[in-house]
Chains A and B, each alone.
Chain A
Amino acid sequence: MKATREELLDIIYQCLDGLNEQLANGDQIQKSMETPLVGGRGGLDSLGLVNFVALVEEECARKYGIAVSLTDPSPQEDDRFANVGKFVDFLFQRLNNNPL
């Protein structure tokens, strides 16, 4: 089963919803393609990022039956966590072109 970008964005937003439940009103992560996941204004702290990655991995395993590790180092420099859009691209590549 091939994952679409729209499905992956839905998964990411769903996981951000799960995180936002635990954050105070002013600290919640905006759901947009430009939202940074780490660093900059509005990004996740280290524990938040770990939580987010684990939630996305679990949801991908549940939906596509693929055990994927999203923190594995990449052969090239990458900016997978720069923002939501980049993370969708990374996830799309990892699930469809280079499944583990």
Chain B
Amino acid sequence: MPAVASVSSVHGEVFQTLLDEKAPSWSSNPDFVVAWTRPEGVLQAFGDLLSCSRVSDQDLNREVDSYAAALLRASKRTKAMFVPTWVIPPFHQTQGLLDLAASGGAARALMRINVRLLESLAGTPTIYPLWADKWIQLGGPAAFNYRLWYLGKIPFSNEVFKAAARDIKAALRGLNGQAKKIVLLDLDDVLWSGIVGDAGWEGLTLGGHDPAGEALVDFQRELKALTRRGILLAIVSKNEESVAMEAIAKHPEMVLKLDDFAGWRINWRDKAENIHALMNELNLGLDSAVFIDDSAVERARVRETLPGLFVPEWPSDKRLYPQALLSLDCFDRPWITEEDRQRSRMSAVDRERKQSKIDLGNLEEWLATLNTSVRVEELNQANLPRAAQLLNKTNQMNLSTRRMSEAEFQAWLREKTRRAWTFRVSDRFGDSGLTGILTIEIDGLRATIIDFVLSCRVMGRKIEEAMLHVGINWARSAGVQEVYANYHQTGKNKPCYDFFEKSGLACRDGNIFVWDAAQAYPLPPAIHLVHDNGGTFAKKSAEENQSKLLASL
């Protein structure tokens, strides 16, 4: 949970605060800003409209645009700016048929100014709009608190602020790469009602004209929706595997199919032990998982044994399962990429790939059969969102664990001596998408690898060596004598250290690895490298870099 210390701005000085970079609110260089205003407080025309005065659309639009411009300007001073949508108290919406009138309808105008503001802010990578209507609904009938307003100009009740704080905390977790990545599910009385080992799949309650059965189908639909947001699903269940598999495959009301699961442990062993093994297999940290089980005993056992794992309390009434899942805000992320949408399918492919690895035994031979292709691209506008996402959420194969927004990443690359590449990996089983990032900085005769990031989905398949080949050979062609990689230890990036230790780079002082640039770094034979310009990547880069270096002298 991020620790947050807040700085308040002066009441009523919205524009002054947003526009004046010397305003007291900015003196502490806030990591994030919440710009939550009352529409009548920042838009004179909207205040007039609430007083039933005649207001032109043009005046209202102009004021919204001015406010949006002030937000855009202020957003450059912080890593993230959250902008809750505008809401108004219900007593302003009591004109009945006129609330939504084209001319003078307050509710209609509110919708319009919210949409106009959202459209004006769209595309700014550091601005994240938040839906305040949800907080008002959660605040109930007393969401707008007039005692607080007249005592201290606080418009909302504490319940509203608590709901807002929950969403902002979830957003910060998402921005910091702490969103949960996988849901581990029990089967009996979780995905269906009944004990499959006793009743057989034909005897399970799922779907049909049964309140619990219908709710469980909806629960599975919501889980399926999570997979489209890039969240993985897996099964941890005490059952006979063949019996459980038969139920998943044959029950006609199952929304989730076997391909929706990244992995499973279905046996009679301890669930904590199974979870540990499964997370290792999937190369995921325990703190990236949520465990859902109907048994309070199993929940307590897992909570106690694996304290990093999130085990939410779970209702005994199956009709409340969809709501319980939807109320979890631990999956919130600031964006969804195409890789996210495909992750579930890619994990199924990965499982197939690993099965093939088990069949073949010898790693080198197996790698040679994969026909692995690594496509190298310079960082550009098209791949920046996915690259920033990967940079901010990758923990294990991460040399420095730097976290940067898209804007910060772009700003960092403005120095002529810095370069960044992305790596897309595909093989005969499928496309894993953009899964690697390498950045290098040159200082005189020394190059330093700053970021070395690889998704756990493709770790251990010689992609790491291919990335070093690209980076080191570019640095050699730029005339450097040594290439450094400085390992910054975190609680999670031991796999990165393990790789560098056996990478062929000489280890100095424990955490510093060095390559003598007189030697080329070999490309693993199992890897086919494709450059974004179709071939002469290293040559092109060297020429560009040499000219950049010359220009910077």
Contact = CB atoms under 8 A, between A and B. Distances in A.
Question: Do chains A and B stick together as partners?
Answer: yes
A18 B158 contact: yes
Nearest to B142: A58
A47 B161 CA distance: 13
Contacts of B154: 47, 50-51
Interface in A46-100: 46-47, 50-51, 53-55, 57-58, 71
Contacts of B145: 54
Interface string B142-179: 00010110011010001001100100000000000000
Contacts of B147: 54, 57-58
Nearest to A71: B151
Contact of A50 (B148, B162, B165): B148
Interface residues of A, number: 14
Interface in B97-155: 145, 147-148, 151-152, 154
B161 A54 contact: no
A66 to B, nearest CB: 14
Contacts of A24: 3, 5
Interface string A16-47: 00100110100000000000000000000011
A21 B161 CA distance: 12
Nearest to B147: A54
A49 to B, nearest CB: 8
B104 to A, nearest CB: 33
A32 to B, nearest CB: 23
B8 to A, nearest CB: 8
**Residue among A21, A50, A53, A71 with the most chain B CB within 10 A?**
A50
A21 B159 CA distance: 11
A55 B154 CA distance: 13
Contacts of B165: 22
A53 B150 CA distance: 12
Contacts of A51: 148, 152, 154, 158
Contacts of A46: 152
B161 A50 contact: no
Contacts of B5: 24
Contacts of A18: 158
B481 to A, nearest CB: 51
A50 B151 CA distance: 6
B151 A22 contact: no
Contacts of B152: 46-47, 50-51
**Residue among A22, A51, A55, A71 with the most chain B CB within 10 A?**
A51
A18 B159 CA distance: 10
Contacts of A55: 158
**Residue among B3, B145, B152, B165 with the most chain A CB within 10 A?**
B152
Nearest to B152: A50
A65 B296 CA distance: 42
Contacts of B148: 50-51, 54
A62 B165 CA distance: 26
B552 to A, nearest CB: 46
Nearest to B8: A47
Contacts of A53: 151
A42 B388 CA distance: 43
A71 B165 CA distance: 28
A24 B5 CA distance: 9
A22 B161 CA distance: 9
A33 to B, nearest CB: 25
Contacts of A47: 152, 154
A54 B147 CA distance: 6
Contacts of A58: 147
Nearest to B3: A24
A53 B162 CA distance: 18
A51 B5 CA distance: 19
A24 B6 CA distance: 11
A72 B165 CA distance: 32
A56 to B, nearest CB: 10
A51 B156 CA distance: 11
A42 to B, nearest CB: 18
Contacts of B151: 50, 53-54, 71
A87 to B, nearest CB: 16
A22 B152 CA distance: 17
Interface string B468-487: 00000000000000000000
Interface string B198-220: 00000000000000000000000
A64 B145 CA distance: 20
A53 to B, nearest CB: 6
A71 B150 CA distance: 11
Nearest to A18: B158
A27 B3 CA distance: 14
Nearest to A46: B152
Given A22-B158, A22-B161, A24-B3, 19 more contacts: A18-B158, A21-B162, A22-B162, A22-B165, A46-B152, A47-B154, A50-B151, A50-B152, A51-B148, A51-B152, A51-B154, A51-B158, A53-B151, A54-B145, A54-B151, A55-B158, A57-B147, A58-B147, A71-B151
Pick the 6 closest A-B CB pairs, nearest first. Answer: A50-B152, A54-B147, A50-B151, A54-B148, A54-B151, A47-B152
Interface of B: 3, 5, 145, 147-148, 151-152, 154, 158, 161-162, 165
Interface of A: 18, 21-22, 24, 46-47, 50-51, 53-55, 57-58, 71
22 contacts: A18-B158, A22-B158, A22-B161, A22-B165, A24-B5, A46-B152, A47-B152, A50-B148, A50-B151, A50-B154, A51-B148, A51-B152, A51-B154, A51-B158, A53-B151, A54-B145, A54-B147, A54-B148, A54-B151, A55-B158, A58-B147, A71-B151
